[in-house]
A and B are shown apart, each in its own frame.
Chain A
Amino acid sequence: MAKYLLLKHYRGAPAAVNDVPMDQWTPEEISAHIQYMNDFAARLEQTGEFVDGQALAPEGTFVRYDGEGNPPVTDGPFAETKDLIAGWMVIDVDTYERAVELAGELSAAPGAGGKPIHEWLELRPFLTEPPTITE
């Protein structure tokens, strides 16, 4: 019973094996990819392991406090930002091994030529509530 975040990167992850930008795929390949992602999420719901999945727009804004009475300062987007998150899926699984297995399956989503992308996904455990019994 542990939650993990599967992070998909626009930038910042090592290059995938089948590393072709999506706009170079055929429309059918894009449809197949999206179908795979939807099926994956639906299957995880069936197994009782799905928590959440969201995609993010690539362009964001940096915001910070600018002192009492001033509106927040905004800046960016910064073209040089190394790490750019594309989206995530949150799973609730019994073991770390199961989380790795599922991340591996998600990374097999088809891309150009209908072949698996072998995309690198980042697997991050959630911090939990502290256990009651510690001694």
Chain B
Amino acid sequence: MTAQLDEALLRSLTPSVLGILGRRGVDFAAAEDAVQDALVEAVRVWPTDMPRDPKGWLVTVAWRRFLDATRADAARRRREVLVDDEPAPGPAPTVDDTLQLYFLCAHPSLTPSSAVALTLRAVGGLTTRQIAHAYLVPEATMAQRISRAKRTVSGVRFDQPGDVATVLRVLYLVFNEGYSGEVDLAAEAIRLTRQLAATIDHPEVAGLLALMLLHHARRATRTAPDGSLVPLAEQDRRRWDTASIAEGVQILQAALARDRLGEFQAQAAIAALHADAPTAEETDWVQIVEWYDELARLTDNPVVRLNRAVAVGEADGPRAGLAALAALDDSLPRHTAVAAYLHERDGDLATAARLYVEAARKAPNLAERDHLTRQAARLNTSRRR
């Protein structure tokens, strides 16, 4: 008897339970609904009555829910054959079932927000309510988003091979743009990427996992107690999570050794160089610029070239950074913020202050806006003295 629900266990079992129902011939949408019902039931029952075989329990409950739903269904006659049959145990689900589930939930026919929601529910085992809370939308809206997503992929065969890149984009979104709620989406993204890495041997999966671990290691230092942003150079590096960094670096090195470089490995390499510097001053900016050059070859994402300009500013001085920046479209997000920073480093405080104000006005989030406004205020105050 335990009063604590082992939510991690519950959620880690979700894909394989779904796989078992799939192997019994249940279509994805119905199986997913049944498993979700079983999860909700487990959350209710397990804290006071933990089953000895949690997975068997989930399969039994999900199967019963599926039968109940099928009986209630309009197509009852056709399906009653299935109902009356004792389910064939079928072959045990393999890791490939889990992998196919990732592909299905990140299918290119889905919009990014639908793919994220479906992945978190069907692969992650989160409830609709938790996902709705995490993304700050009503539960009814999230429920509809998920059922639409399931309808969209209903024609996709479970056994078609998918594209790893689409799965990685979805997991990256969960990690990078997760909102804060009762569910720690960054940790959830890491768990799902780790699980994916265990089912498929792919250097970019490893690259993304390393990238997440290296960034997660800095999490505690990224914001001050009042919620304001702390830039990388000002973070207290003694508080970085060294275990997470060591794991990230190790995974990255193994991936890089295979000589199949990709976007996420290159990003992780940059994060690893930051993690490696005992102080901000000791950062190997020359090598970071080289990695940005690699990254620019791998992706046409203009944000890469913007970040490269920052790195050039550190490696070769602010004038060089400003020259690199001049070659870029000034409508890029954060272009003005970068310009403000480089002008300040170059000693042109009046221009920097003006640009910080302009950058604050364009900031896409509150924490960044407050940070940029503070930079402008800092320069304006010191210039008045």
**Chain A contacts to B: CB under 8 angstroms:** 1, 3, 44-52, 92-94, 125, 127-133, 135
Contacts and interface: CB of A to CB of B under 8 A. Distances in A.
A46 B144 contact: yes
A1 to B, nearest CB: 4
Contacts of B112: 1, 94
A130 B113 contact: no
A48 B136 contact: no
A44 to B, nearest CB: 8
Interface string B218-232: 010000000001001
Contacts of B113: 1, 48, 92-94
A44 B140 CA distance: 11
Interface stretch (B13-21, B63-71, B79-87, B169-177): B169-177
Which 7 residue pairs of A and B lie closest in terms of their CB atoms, listed nearest first? A48-B145, A48-B144, A1-B113, A127-B366, A130-B367, A128-B365, A94-B111
Contact of B148 (A3, A48, A50): A48
Contact of A135 (B140, B141, B274): B274
B291 to A, nearest CB: 11
Interface in B349-378: 363-369
Nearest to A52: B138
Contact of A127 (B173, B232, B363): B363
Q: Which of A46, A93, A132 has the most CB of B within 10 A?
A: A132
Contacts of B271: 135
A49 B369 CA distance: 26
Given A3-B136, A48-B144, A133 B211 contact: yes
Nearest to B271: A135
Given A50-B137, A133-B175, 11 more contacts: A45-B141, A48-B144, A49-B141, A51-B136, A51-B141, A92-B136, A94-B112, A129-B178, A129-B179, A132-B178, A132-B216
Interface of B: 111-114, 116-117, 135-138, 140-142, 144-146, 148, 173, 175-180, 186, 211, 215-216, 219, 229, 232, 267, 270-271, 274, 307, 310, 363-369
A10 B136 CA distance: 28
A1 B173 contact: yes
Contacts of B148: 46-48
Contacts of B136: 3, 51, 92
A101 B368 CA distance: 29
Given A94-B112, A135-B271, A48 B176 contact: no
A48 B146 contact: yes
27 contacts: A1-B113, A1-B116, A1-B173, A1-B177, A3-B136, A45-B138, A45-B141, A47-B145, A48-B137, A48-B148, A51-B137, A92-B137, A92-B141, A94-B113, A127-B366, A127-B369, A128-B364, A129-B179, A129-B365, A130-B365, A131-B365, A132-B186, A132-B219, A133-B175, A133-B211, A133-B215, A135-B271
